[in-house]
C-alpha cells in the first residue's frame, strides 16, 4: 500500500512539473475523466490524458477493454492466441502465413513428429534439419519476452553450442528446462524494413475487427522498430522507436523514441542509424491490409485481434496474434479505439441476443 501511495505522489508531481498545473486541478480533472472513460490514474499519467485532447475523447481503458472483450473474444478461445504452439497447429489449417515451425520442445509429453522431449531429441532434430539460424520462443510469453535469435550452431563434443545474434554463445542444455519452447525459422524481412533496423524484426501491429456480417475493418496500425543491437521490437519496456501508420495509405507519422511512460521524444529519423521514418510509406500497403483482413476472417472465434506482422517479400507473416492486446498503441497512433471496440461489442451483443 505504501508503495502505491509513493508511486501516485511521484506521478502527480511529474504531471505538475510537466504542465505547471496545480495539484487540485490535476485531481479534479482526473476524477472527471474517470467518470467518462473508466480510467485509472496510472493510465491518466502514462497516456498524457491530462493534455492529449484526441485521446481524452477516444481512449479505451483497461477496465472497459476487459468488459468489451468478454463478449468479443470469449475466454474459451484464449488458448488459441496465447499458446504459440497451438497457434501454429491452427494456422496449418488456414492460409494464415506464419514462420515455419522446426520443432516443439516439451519435456512432459510423448515425442512424435516435430515434438521433442529432451536434449538428445532436440539436438538430433537440429542436425537432421541442417539448420544454423532459427528463433527460440517460450510458448506462452508475449511482448518479446523469452525470445532468443540464433545465428549459428556448432558441435563441441556431444554438446550443441548456439551462437546468439549478439555473439554470445550458449549451450543447448542451458535453455532446455521444464518450460515448453518452439524453434522457428528466422524471418527474412523486406529490404525496406531491414533498413529501419537490421538487427530486429520490425513489425506492424494491425488492429482488426470482425463484424457479424463477415466484414473486417482495420481500426488502427502502428509500427514498432527495434534499436540497434536489439533483436525484438517490443516497446513495452521502453527504448524503442514507435510510430503511427496511416490505415489508408501506409504512411508513417508521429514517430517517437519511446523510453518509457511519460518519457517520449519526438523524432523524424531513427535514433541509431539516422534513417528517415517520418512520411515514409510502407511498400505494398494495400496488399498487406488485404492479407491481414483475410487472416481475421479465418479466425472467427476472436473478433478483435492485434496482429504483430513481419513484412516479407511474400507479404504479411504473423509473428504473434493478441486476443487481449495492450492499450499502448493508442499513444503511438495519437488517438484511441474506444468507439470502434464499443461498436463491435454492441453489434455482437445484439447478434447473440437475437440468436437466443
173 and 203 in a single domain? The answer is no
222 and 123 in a single domain? The answer is no
239 and 311 in a single domain? The answer is yes
344 and 195 in a single domain? The answer is yes
Where would I find the beta strands (DSSP E) of 33-186?
Answer: 101-105, 115-116, 134-138, 147-156, 159-164, 169-171, 181-184
38 and 174 in a single domain? The answer is no
Long-range contacts formed by 22-29: CB under 8 A, 24+ apart: 26/50
The mean pLDDT of the chain is: 91
Asked if 330 and 337 count as a contact pair (C-beta separation under 8 A), the reply is: yes
Q: Does residue 62 lie within any of the structural domains?
A: no
Q: Does residue 23 lie within any of the structural domains?
A: yes
* Per-residue pLDDT at 108: 85
293 and 332 in a single domain? The answer is yes
- Residue 121 C-alpha cell reads as 531429441
Q: How many domains does the chain have?
A: 3
279 and 294 in a single domain? The answer is yes
CATH of the domain at 295: 3.30.470.20
218 and 316 in a single domain? The answer is yes
* Per-residue pLDDT at 64: 97
pLDDT tens, position by position, 209-251: 999 999 999 999 999 999 887 776 655 545 689 999 999 999 9
Who's near 2: CB < 8 A, 6+ residues apart? none
Could you tell me the pLDDT band of residue 142, with boundaries at 50, 70 and 90?
low
Please report, for residues 63, 69, 261, 267, the alpha-carbon distance to residue 293 in angstroms, rounded to integers and kept in the order given: 27, 19, 31, 31
| Domain boundaries, position 32 | 2-51
Q: Does residue 235 lie within any of the structural domains?
A: yes
Q: Which one has a higher pLDDT value, 276 or 157? A: 276
Could you tell me the pLDDT band of residue 314, with boundaries at 50, 70 and 90?
very high
Q: Does residue 208 lie within any of the structural domains?
A: yes
Rounded average pLDDT over 70-94 = 90
pLDDT tens, position by position, 102-119: 999 998 887 788 899 999
* Per-residue pLDDT at 145: 66
Q: Does residue 59 lie within any of the structural domains?
A: no
* Per-residue pLDDT at 112: 80
- Of 64, 69, 7, the closest CA to residue 35 belongs to 64
* Per-residue pLDDT at 44: 94
148 and 265 in a single domain? The answer is no
Amino acid at each position: 500500500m505504501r508503495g502505491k501511495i509513493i508511486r501516485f505522489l511521484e506521478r502527480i508531481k511529474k504531471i505538475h512539473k510537466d504542465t505547471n498545473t496545480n495539484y487540485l486541478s490535476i485531481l479534479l480533472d482526473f476524477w472527471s475523466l474517470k467518470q467518462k472513460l473508466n480510467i485509472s490514474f496510472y493510465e491518466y499519467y502514462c497516456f498524457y490524458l491530462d493534455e492529449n485532447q484526441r485521446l481524452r475523447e477516444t481512449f479505451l481503458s483497461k477496465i472497459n477493454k476487459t468488459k468489451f472483450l468478454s463478449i468479443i473474444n470469449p475466454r474459451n478461445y484464449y488458448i488459441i492466441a496465447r499458446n504459440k504452439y497451438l497457434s501454429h497447429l491452427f494456422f496449418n489449417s488456414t492460409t494464415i502465413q506464419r514462420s515455419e515451425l522446426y520443432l516443439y520442445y516439451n519435456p512432459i509429453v510423448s515425442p512424435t513428429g516435430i515434438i521433442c522431449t529432451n536434449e538428445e531429441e532436440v539436438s538430433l532434430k537440429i542436425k537432421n534439419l541442417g539448420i544454423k539460424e532459427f528463433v527460440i520462443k517460450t510458448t506462452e510469453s508475449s511482448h518479446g519476452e523469452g525470445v532468443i535469435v540464433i545465428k549459428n550452431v556448432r558441435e563441441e563434443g556431444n554438446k550443441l553450442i548456439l551462437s546468439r545474434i549478439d555473439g554470445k554463445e550458449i549451450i543447448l542444455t542451458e535453455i532446455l528446462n521444464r518450460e515448453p519452447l518452439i524453434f522457428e525459422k528466422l524471418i527474412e524481412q523486406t529490404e525496406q524494413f531491414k533498413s529501419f533496423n537490421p538487427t530486429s524484426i520490425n513489425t506492424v501491429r494491425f488492429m482488426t475487427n470482425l463484424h457479424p456480417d463477415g466484414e473486417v475493418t482495420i481500426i488502427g496500425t502502428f509500427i514498432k522498430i527495434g534499436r540497434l543491437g536489439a533483436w525484438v521490437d517490443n516497446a513495452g519496456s521502453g527504448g524503442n522507436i514507435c510510430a503511427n501508420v496511416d490505415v489508408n495509405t501506409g504512411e508513417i507519422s508521429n514517430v517517437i523514441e519511446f523510453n518509457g511512460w511519460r518519457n517520449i521524444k519526438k523524432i523524424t529519423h531513427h535514433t541509431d542509424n539516422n534513417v528517415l521514418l517520418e512520411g515514409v510509406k510502407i511498400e505494398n500497403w494495400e496488399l498487406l491490409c488485404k492479407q491481414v483482413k483475410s487472416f481475421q476472417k479465418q479466425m472467427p472465434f476472436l473478433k478483435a485481434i492485434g496482429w504483430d506482422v513481419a513484412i516479407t517479400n511474400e507479404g504479411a507473416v504473423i509473428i504473434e496474434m493478441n486476443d487481449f492486446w495492450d492499450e499502448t498503441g493508442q499513444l503511438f497512433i495519437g488517438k484511441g479505439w474506444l468507439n470502434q471496440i464499443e461498436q463491435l461489442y454492441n453489434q455482437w451483443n445484439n447478434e447473440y441476443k437475437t440468436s437466443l
